[in-house]
Every structure is written in structure tokens, then in C-alpha cells.
Amino acid sequence: MQTEVFQSVSQMASHGGGMVDTLTRLGVADLSNAEIAHLITIIGDPVLAKYTAASSSPAAQEEVMKAAMVDGQHINALINTVLAKEGLREMH
């Protein structure tokens, strides 16, 4: 079942006019053939692949979510400081 789902989603994602197709077309629209060849080399670089795999792992994503929650709390506190200084009601 997993293979069938993967194949179905891959087929949908690569279908002309879809999100991946649109993003790819927009991304390379102003690139020359030489630049596209260079981009393919960069994308295929093993260091980039290692970096991408590490930064998109479930453990990394969990750490990013934790950091986002902390950032959100800090931003909320900063906004409340400004609101209080202006004599406005703080948000919670």
C-alpha cells in the first residue's frame, strides 16, 4: 500500500500545472542552459543532500517546532511590552 500511495502522490505532484511543476518552471524561467546544468550539479551535490536530509529529519523538525514555540512566546512578550507602554491592553 505504501508503494501505491507513493506512486500516486508522485504522479500527482509531477503532473503538469501542479505545485512542483509550477515552482520548477518559475524557478528556471530566467536561467540559461548553462545555469540550469550548474543548478543540477548543485542539487546533486552529496553535501547538500546530507544537509537536506539532516535538516528535514523528524528530530530536526521537532527541534525547529520547539524553537518556533519559544520564538512565538518571545514575540508575544515583546508585543505586550509595546502595547503596555502605549497604555493598551496586552494580548494573551
Give residue limits of the domains in the chain: 1-43, 46-92
Among 45, 15, 43, CA closest to 28? 43
Q: What is the pLDDT of residues 11-67, one digit of tens each?
A: 777 667 777 778 888 999 999 999 999 999 999 999 999 999 999 999 999 999 999
13's CB contacts (< 8 A; 6+ apart) are 19, 20
Question: Using an 8 Å Cβ cutoff, are 75 and 83 in contact?
Answer: no
Task: Note the Cα 33 to chain centre separation in Å.
Answer: 26
pLDDT confidence of residue 2: 73
